[in-house]
Amino acid sequence: MNAYSPSGCGGADALATSFSASYAGVIAFIAVVNEGSFARAADRLGIGRSAVSRSVQKLEQQVGARLFSRTTRSTSLTREGEIFFENCHPGVERIAQALDDMRELRDGPPRGQLRIGAPMGFGRKIVAPLLNRFRDAYPDIALDLLLDDRPFDFTGDRVDVAFRNGRMEDSQIVARQLVPMQMFVCATPDYLRQHGDIDSVEALAAHNGIHYRSGSGRIDEWEFKVDGRLRKALPPAMEVFNDTDLVLQAVLDGRGVGQLAGYQVCEYLRSGRLVACLARYAPDDRGHYICYQTRQQLPSRIRVFIDFMIGAIRALDLECGSSLPIGAPMATP
């Protein structure tokens, strides 16, 4: 087989050839062909003429054929050089185009598809309503929002950005806190009038618990900070849901007491539809986070989405703890 038959670059031995051939030599060879001389190729590549010549000579030795016919006045391709150029030039062009495309994705106008993961409650109430504003600002970015309370696997789920609630224990990802995650034990005024105030963690044992079952299948324990220490408690489970919105609705309906995140209940606490109990014992070491895999070389579509969401969510009035009284349940008329 001729050393420069088409299969020399793309046939059965292409893989072996790709390992043995010099990539620097191929680039130098393509540059000389495009520029018409070794000197102009050196200027284009930003290296010395002698370096271009050595790279091409090494490539000729590796393929066992002369690629250029050189005189003091001209440089032209040999027949073997023409075959080599015809076979390898498209591949080099595709590599160059791929590099340009990646640079454009990173540095150019934001575009492409963005796959987002979020917990069901936070995603439905906070993230989804902001997506229209984001699309208005960046119309060339297509959005794919996945709602699931289990933690997303960035690789397996092919997620670009994920929102998470609670405590961050995964050191392999970048997690930026959006706002603190305040947790409130809540009930309606009517429920408390019928069943009595809740003035201590121990008092929860006499109340109807409305509970959330997480993606792991376990019922989430309620957390409190008592005398500077984390304490967990779980009142009798009268109703259990795997959707935090259903937990909220059951509490609003006066069927029991639940521990809910501030973003769900702040408006109801302010309006008086719900009462915050045990506010002095609220845990303070959780958060709502936006997560991604690396700080470096982020495509522009991901960078602008992260910046937009951080600004938009922090601008929302999601923290109501400071407006609530410390101690007994919030007074109601």
**Which of 152, 143, 141 shows the shortest CA–CA distance to 118?**
152
* Secondary structure element (H or E) that encloses residue 95, with its range: helix 79-107
Q: With contact defined as beta carbons under 8 Å apart, do 30 and 88 qualify?
A: yes
Residue 106 pLDDT: 60
Residue 97 pLDDT: 63
Residue 323 pLDDT: 54
How many residues would you count in the chain?
333
Amino acid at 75: T
User: Which residues have CB under 8 Å from 20's CB, separation 6+?
Assistant: 62
- pTM metric for this prediction: 0.66
pLDDT in tens, 136-156: 999 999 999 999 988 888 888
Question: Tens-digit pLDDT profile for the chain (333 aa)?
Answer: 344 444 444 554 554 444 444 778 888 888 888 888 888 888 888 888 888 888 888 888 888 888 888 877 778 888 888 888 888 877 777 776 666 566 655 666 788 899 999 999 999 999 999 999 999 999 999 999 999 988 888 888 889 999 999 887 766 789 999 998 889 999 999 999 999 999 899 999 999 999 999 877 889 889 898 888 888 988 998 999 999 999 999 999 999 999 999 999 999 999 999 999 998 888 876 899 999 987 677 888 899 999 999 999 999 888 776 555 443 344 333
Q: Residue 299: helix, strand or coil by DSSP?
A: coil
In the chain, the N- to C-terminal Cα span, in Å, equals 95
